[in-house]
Chains A and B, each alone.
Chain A
Amino acid sequence: MQLKMSKSSDKMTAFEGQDLQTQALREKAMLFCVAIAIPSLILILWEMTTRMGWVDELFLPSLSGIVNEFFAMTRKGYAGTPLLSHVLGSLRRVFTAFTVGTLVGLLLGLLMGYYKYVRAAFYVVTELLRPIPPLAFITLFILWFGIGEVSKVLIILYAGALIVMLNTMAGVQSCPKDKILAAQTLGANDLAIFLYVILPAALPSIFTGMRVALSVDFGILVAAELLAGDLGIGYIIQDASTFFNVEGLFVGILMIGFFGVMSDFLLRIIASRVVHWQG
Chain B
Amino acid sequence: MSKSPIHPVSSLDRQSELENSPAQLISLDRVSFGYSHKRLVLQDLDLEIKQGEFLTLLGPSGCGKSTILNLIAGFYKPLLGRVTHGGEDIKGPSARRGVVFQSNALFDWMTVEQNVGFGFRFQAVSKHERKKRVETIIALVGLRGNERKYPYQLSGGMRQRVAVARSMVVQPEILLMDEPFAAVDVQTREGLQEELLKLHEQVSGAILFVTHSIEEAVFLSDRIVILDRNLGGIAHDIKIHLPEPRYTAMNRVSDAFNQYRTDLYLKMKAIE
Which A residues contact B (CB, under 8 angstroms)? 176, 178-179, 181-189, 192, 196-197, 200-201, 203, 275-277
Contacts and interface: CB of A to CB of B under 8 A. Distances in A.
Interface string B104-147: 01111100000000110111000000000000000000000000
A201 B108 CA distance: 8
B105 A179 contact: yes
Contacts of A182: 99, 101, 105, 163, 166
B107 A197 contact: yes
16 contacts: A178-B105, A179-B105, A181-B93, A181-B99, A181-B101, A181-B105, A182-B99, A185-B93, A185-B97, A185-B99, A186-B167, A187-B121, A189-B122, A192-B122, A275-B109, A276-B150
A277 B153 CA distance: 9
A277 B108 contact: yes
A181 B150 CA distance: 20
A184 B107 contact: no
A220 B123 CA distance: 50
Interface string B87-105: 0000011110111010101
Nearest to A276: B150
Interface in B162-186: 163, 166-167, 170, 172
Contacts of B119: 186-187
A197 B109 CA distance: 9
Contacts of A189: 122
B151 interface: yes
Determine the main DSSP class of B at the interface with A.
loop
Nearest to B99: A185
Contacts of B163: 182
Contacts of A192: 121-122
The 5 closest A-B pairs by CB, nearest first: A187-B95, A187-B122, A186-B119, A184-B93, A182-B105
A185 B163 CA distance: 12
Interface of B: 73, 75, 92-95, 97-99, 101, 103, 105-109, 118-119, 121-123, 150-152, 163, 166-167, 170, 172
Contacts, number: 69
A238 to B, nearest CB: 45
A188 to B, nearest CB: 6
B118 A183 contact: yes
A179 B118 CA distance: 12
Contact of B118 (A176, A186, A203, A275): A186
Given A178-B101, A185-B167, A200-B109, 7 more contacts: A183-B107, A185-B93, A186-B95, A196-B107, A200-B107, A201-B109, A276-B150
Nearest to B108: A277
A203 B108 CA distance: 12
A186 B105 contact: no
Contacts of A277: 108-109, 150-152
Among A178, A185, A200, A277, the most chain B Cβ lie within 10 Å of the Cβ of: A185
Contact of A188 (B75, B99, B121, B172): B121
Nearest to A275: B109
A23 B118 CA distance: 44
Contacts of A187: 94-95, 119, 121-123, 170
A178 B180 CA distance: 13
A188 B151 CA distance: 20
A187 B166 CA distance: 12
Contacts of B94: 185, 187
Contacts of B108: 200, 277
Contacts of B107: 179, 183, 196-197, 200
A179 B106 CA distance: 7
B48 to A, nearest CB: 21
A240 to B, nearest CB: 48
Nearest to B121: A192
Contacts of A275: 109
Contacts of A181: 73, 75, 93, 99, 101, 105
Contacts of B152: 277
Contacts of B73: 181, 185
A264 B121 CA distance: 37
B176 to A, nearest CB: 8
Nearest to B103: A178
A186 B170 contact: yes
B106 to A, nearest CB: 8
Contacts of B118: 183, 186, 188, 196
